[in-house]
């Protein structure tokens, strides 16, 4: 696999036209068929030693699978600070905060849809949050949109990391749950995660 990725250098750009781009607005059933066909194409190209073409076919297969898969999260964590890139985040060593600390989290949505606009691909997500009691039975805040994610790219990106910073929370000492709901505005789909945390006595 490492050789395959090393082969995908600048020559991949020249070979892009040789691999059909996946139209991502064709519906989930058709996207699954396209993904399977592209995986087979990638295997065939790899068998012939055409690593660049194989890489491009498998990349397009991932994009097609993203159009087929319901929205989900591959990672979600309370963090020390902003990430440095996809997967490059530092988990908070504990879940305790003082009342004057702002809670920061990192999430990795996956399975989101793309809107095709000429040569460009667009991603539209919204991240909402709510604070729940420690047992998860009562919501203390109404759902609020914390962040909107709008990405336009010449590639149908399937990897996405999102940094979230909550406003200051006026909470009494105790145990709580941060609920984050990610909404795919294109697919009308959503996924959520709950992250427990504690507020300490000053």
Tell me the DSSP string of 63-92: HHHHHHSPPEEEEEEEBSS--SSTT---B-
pLDDT at 5 over 70: no
Q: What is the residue-averaged pLDDT of the chain? A: 84
Contact of 95 with 197, CB cutoff 8 Å: yes
**CA-wise closest residue to 86 among 162, 152, 6, 157:** 162
**CATH T-level assignment (fold) for domain 72-199:** Immunoglobulin-like (2.60.40)
Domain ranges of the chain: 2-68, 72-199
Does the global pTM surpass 0.85?
no
Confidence category of residue 19, pLDDT binned at 50, 70, 90: very low
CB-based contacts of 97, cutoff 8 Å, min separation 6? 103, 197, 198, 199, 200
Q: What is the rounded average pLDDT of the residues 11-37?
A: 50
pLDDT in tens, 62-120: 877 777 789 999 999 999 999 999 999 999 999 999 988 999 999 999 999 889 899 99
């Amino acid at each position: 696999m490492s050789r395959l990725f090393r082969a995908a250098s600048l020559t991949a750009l020249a070979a892009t036209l040789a691999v059909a781009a996946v139209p991502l607005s064709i519906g989930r059933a058709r996207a699954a068929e396209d993904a399977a066909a592209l995986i087979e194409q990638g295997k065939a190209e790899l068998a012939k030693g055409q690593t660049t073409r194989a890489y491009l076919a498998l990349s397009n297969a991932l994009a097609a699978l993203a159009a087929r898969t319901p929205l989900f999260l591959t990672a979600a964590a309370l963090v020390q600070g902003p990430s440095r890139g996809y997967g490059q985040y530092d988990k908070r060593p504990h879940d305790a905060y003082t009342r004057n600390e702002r809670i920061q989290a990192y999430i990795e949505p996956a399975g989101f849809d793309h809107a095709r606009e000429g040569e460009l691909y667009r991603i539209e997500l919204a991240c909402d949050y709510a604070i729940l009691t420690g047992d998860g039975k009562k919501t203390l805040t109404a759902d609020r949109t914390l962040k909107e994610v709008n990405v336009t790219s010449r590639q149908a990106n399937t990897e996405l990391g999102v940094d979230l910073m909550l406003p200051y929370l006026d909470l009494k000492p105790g145990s709580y749950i941060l609920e984050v709901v990610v909404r795919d505005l294109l697919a009308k789909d959503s996924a959520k995660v709950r992250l427990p945390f504690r507020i300490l006595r000053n």
